[in-house]
Amino acid sequence: MVWPFPPKTRKQVARIEITGAIAADTRKRVLKALEEVEEKKYPALLLRIDSPGGTVGDSQEIYYALKKLQEKTKIVASFGNISASGGVYIGMGAQHIVANPGTITGSIGVILRGNNLERLLEKVGVSFKVIKSGPYKDILSFDRELTEAEENILQEMIDVSYGQFVKTVAEARNLDVETVKTFADGRIFTGEQAQELGVVDRLGTEEDARIWAAKLAGLDPDKAECRTIEEPKPLITRLLSRNQLSSPVGNALNWVEFELATAGHPLWLYRP
């Protein structure tokens, strides 16, 4: 027997929150949440982004999943305190974007950093013997300077990644590629400036974005429940997250961990 009544989720707005630096854990969590949105047939999704960006591949996978979901679900992104670089890229996966007037956004570009400890190692008398299969196998090694050829290789890679970013913004926002390049130079701008540039559609709060998403899906904004989709966490994890990871020390440790894990990777990340 087929159940005659539509599931409760058909009259709800799903909500997914993306906060902090975007990396593998963020990608896994968000993709799982997007699968739930599709499986339970939510008609609308509110995507709340409060992130300075992160790794290129993880940002792209979330973006592609959002684009696919657009075929079945109305998606409105809400930019919070900061939605920059990879946060902007993910936002391009929504049909519409709302930002606060003072939101920090932009930083459209790519950055790759390496560390050169050559002089420090010389002082302490440490050196390395490297045997490699090709001249570029130890590119970005921390014990020596980059060669000119290596710089050219890395710059070409960064330029390709940058081109992907610019093209995505241009297509998502119906802008000319050359127009996007005029402000896609790594600069940050406010939500108000972003609206003037065509990066966001409206200025407003997260609640404004929720109401818009509900209306787009044909729901009554006053009656449609907004349900946040998140993984259930053990009590000890919730306590640690609340008491430690949200503290200045906890935040610093999170950033150190992210820096170490992504050293030498191209990043769509705003670095203040």
Catalytic residue numbers?
85, 137
CA distances from 30 to 152, 246, 256, 268 (A): 35, 20, 23, 18
Angle, helices 148-172 vs 56-69, to 10°: value is 20
CA distance 4 to 130: 69
CA distances from 137 to 10, 150, 214 (A): 53, 10, 52
Q: What's the chain's Rg over C-alpha atoms?
A: 21
Would you say 75 and 93 are in contact if contact means Cβ atoms under 8 Å apart?
Answer: yes
Cα dihedral: 171, 196, 80, 184 (round 10): 50
Compute how many other C-beta atoms are within 10 angstroms of the C-beta atom of residue 175: 18
CA 151 to chain centre: 27
CA distance 166 to 180: 6
3-state helix, strand, coil split of the chain in percent (to 5) is 45, 20, 35
